[in-house]
Amino acid sequence: MRILLAGGGSGGHVTPLRAISQSLQKQYQGKLEITVVTDRIFYAQTKFLFQAESDIRLKRVFSGKFRRYNGKSFVWHIVHLPTLLKNIRDIFLIGIGIVQSAHYFLWHKPDVVFCKGGFVCVPVGIATRLFGVPLIIHDSDTHPGLTNRFLAPWATKIGTGMPSKYYNYEAEKMVYSGIPVSEEMAPVTDSQKKVALKELNLDLKRPVLFVTGGGTGAKELNAVITLVAEQLISAGWQILHLTGKNKASKVQSARDKLADEQQKYWHIAEFAEILPYVQAADIIVSRAGATAVQEFANARKEVILVPSPYLTGGHQLKNAEMFEESKAAVVLQESQLRINPSMLVETIQGIYSSRPSHGRAAELFNVFAKPHAADELAKLILTTGTSS
């Protein structure tokens, strides 16, 4: 069977493909050919994520992004020339991507296509429609993305990361699968945490704060951490900080200004395999991207969410609102932290010092765990592919 998995633009659209590919290989007994298609910009990160999967073919195609900024009017998007010109340019890039995808379909003839999300799925999805190949899409956020809303009428099945009440897709197409993440993302034992601490060369006696803005990073979140890192380290914390691609230099410059003794407690990287980071963490500060949140829920971690206010439809704001209403995570708004960065330090200290209730939010967060999501989606893909 030949299977095409597509996703790009962010880690949240690619890391699930790795989990699904592993489940596909476990479940299928015959010859299986898996191709992962991503966009040119996120190809390097995709290659990094699949570096151990030598039998999986990686492809990159052109894709375009339709820029729509939360809080900006329709007129603004027309009169703001840089945005307008980029959107016009990307229409042509989508056209190129459709031709590239069609070329692949002609030569490799996939039996079924799974699109995780991101604008790379537009040219892939159009080619899928043109060649009459069964299509499965998956939506992680509480607010369906534009790409999936575009592809939904053609989809054979639609997997959802959140309960179906958050979506207005055709009910008979929807499957509430959860978000596929690595099966290694599970509640962390004391021995696993100790191994992770040693692997990352961390102090075994200091609590660990893990900060991440997702695969592409978060400039504003990075800026807040640079302002409060000294406070956190002085309070006894050590920081694991994933900045995102091309965003480490400013953070490293801020670290260089600290005393030598403090610098060793601030570990900075642009991108990494996050499993040991999650396992080592006592508290995680993160954007509210659905895939990352699912990983933290599966690992039963205490989480502070700082949702991006800029993304179209405010989907991270809606994700964070759902978890906050369930008392499963603490939510801080970027606008609050911009005015008072120390609020983050106070929140972190408050969560960590609130024993014996410390851990209660993590238990509530784990209610949202769907550890078998990758297996369920792999089964759906295989069933769809064999019946086509």
| Helical residues (DSSP H) of 176-306, grouped into ranges | 190-199, 219-234, 248-256, 260-263, 275-280, 290-298
Note the pLDDT tens digit of each residue in 295-313: 998 898 999 999 988 766 6
The per-residue pLDDT for 132 is 95
Note the pLDDT tens digit of each residue in 108-120: 899 999 999 888 9
Q: Which domains does the chain have, with CATH numbers?
A: 2-182+371-387 (3.40.50.2000), 190-366 (3.40.50.2000)
Q: What whole-number percentage of the chain has pLDDT above 70?
A: 94
Note the pLDDT tens digit of each residue in 129-175: 999 999 999 998 877 888 999 999 999 999 998 888 888 899 999 99
Please, what sign has the CA dihedral across residues 27, 196, 241, 224? positive
DSSP designation for 153: G
CB burial readout 96-135, b (16+ within 10 A) else e: ebbebbbebbeeeebbbbbbbbbbbbbbbbbbbeeeebbb
Which tokens is 213 given?
């803005």
Note the pLDDT tens digit of each residue in 332-382: 999 999 999 999 999 999 999 875 555 566 676 766 778 889 999 999 999
Confidence band for 124, pLDDT divided at 50, 70 and 90: very high
Which residues contact residue 109 at a Cβ distance below 8 angstroms, ignoring those fewer than 6 apart?
2
The per-residue pLDDT for 34 is 96
From 25-29, 69-73, 285-289, 377-381, the region with the lowest mean pLDDT: 69-73
Q: What whole-number percentage of the chain has pLDDT above 90?
A: 59
Q: What angle separates helix 290-298 from helix 315-325, to the nearest 10 degrees? A: 30
Whole-angstrom distance, CA of residue 38 vs CA of residue 60:
5
- Mean pLDDT along residues 189-206: 96
